[in-house]
Amino acid sequence: MSGPLDGVLVVDLTRALAGPHAAMMLGDLGARVIKVENPGGGDDTRGWGPPFVQPETGDRESTYFLSANRNKESIALDLKDDADREVLTDLLRRADVLLENFRPGTLTRLGFGTDVLAELNPRLITLSISGFGHDGPEGGRAGYDQIAQGEAGLMSLTGPGPDDPQRVGVPIGDLLAGMYGAYGVLAALFERERTGRGQVVRTSLLAAIVGVHAFQGTAWTVAGQVGRPQGNHHPSIAPYGLFRCKDGSVQLSCGSESLWRRLCGEFGLDPEAPGMATNGDRVGNRRRVIELIEDAFAEHPAEELLARLAAAGIPAGKVRTIDEVYTWEQTLSQGLLVDVEHATLGRLRLPGPPLRFFTPGPDGETETTRREHAAPPVLDADGAAIRAEVARDADGAPRRSRTGAPGA
């Protein structure tokens, strides 16, 4: 129940979101994650708010920080202080993974360049996340999510139309870079089992966003077409999007001709009408398709439409608010909320990990998903214990291997 990365030690030098999200993903999978923070205030996101919990006290915590730092320990180290640098050096000698998202070159200036790290610990895997890449003509640029969303083309594809580009409602560039980074770390850990050596994994907000361009990318690279915002409707499939009805709206997706015919049969539309017979025809006449469907939906409330669409086998859904998502029985059934005990805030309910694990057997599957999770730490919560642990190791106490047996 402790997770597939049980025994992996991660040293997390990152702050803000991309790196902390990657580290949290590794922690969710059972790795021990030691978050190294600036003694002067810790991770930047500790101050990002409102909202704060307990803002009237000295123990206030940013909900932003809480979103990206579960299943971690915290130690405050000043990397310009020789004694603290020695603590970090000792941690890196023992670690399996190092995460950093300084601007390119910063870690080298601090005395922990890749050559130094390789000498300290040849098995160390380093994940390095930047804004726009570690080299190239703009490799040194600072990376902030909204700037990256714009520079990497995502905002040009999002919004009601070409004259009103929109950012995605969450910092998706940061989150994707964190996910790609964790994915790279897992691949490097797997390869290390074969080679015995670590390596450096690099990604960036730019790379992560380009990596999810999907059909919009090949529309340009192969067909020479530049994607534009389509609001709440798909650029290559019709009907596929948000449609108004009597008391709100519903979403539906007709990803095949058979689904289009079912929709037409259910609401009395002609599937073979001029400009409607094929998906290509309908994409070319999208406005007319939307008008026809919204006319058919105009006298029907959303719940009735959703029931009819479900009965007809047409994929459909509502647009839920965040509070509705977290009280939805389906969300709860998937383990997407976890209860944790915070050092100053007490019992908290947090969004949970998106992965579940099962072991098949003769009597069916047994879920082995990690059940117990640790709350995000207060600053330096584990500093004394980690320093004592490092000191014991320096005195020659036996270390534990990933199997739990004494050894290197």
Q: Strands 125-130, 97-100: parallel, antiparallel or unpaired by DSSP?
A: parallel
C-alpha distances in Å from residue 181, one per residue of 129, 169, 173, 204: 7, 21, 12, 9
- CA nearest 32: which of 378, 377, 341? 377
Q: What is the DSSP string of 80-131?
A: TSHHHHHHHHHHHHH-SEEEE-PPTTHHHHTT--HHHHHHH-TT-EEEEEES
Structure tokens at 370: 């990690």
Q: Is 136 helix (H, G, I), strand (E, B) or coil?
A: coil
Q: What is the DSSP string of 259-271?
A: HHHHHHHHHT--T
Category of 335 on φ-ψ map: left (φ > 0), alpha (ψ -120 to 50) or beta: left
Amino acid of residue 325: V
Residues noted as catalytic? 174
Category of 369 on φ-ψ map: left (φ > 0), alpha (ψ -120 to 50) or beta: beta
Give the max Cα distance, the chain: 83
DSSP summary character for residue 6: T
CB 32, CB 386: distance < 8 Å: no
Q: Taking the CA atoms of the chain, what radius of gyration do you get in angstroms?
A: 25
CB 22, CB 129: distance < 8 Å: yes
> From CA 265, how far away is CA 17, in angstroms rounded?
48
> From CA 387, how far away is CA 121, in angstroms rounded?
19
Print the SS3 string covering 104-117.
CCHHHHCCCCHHHH
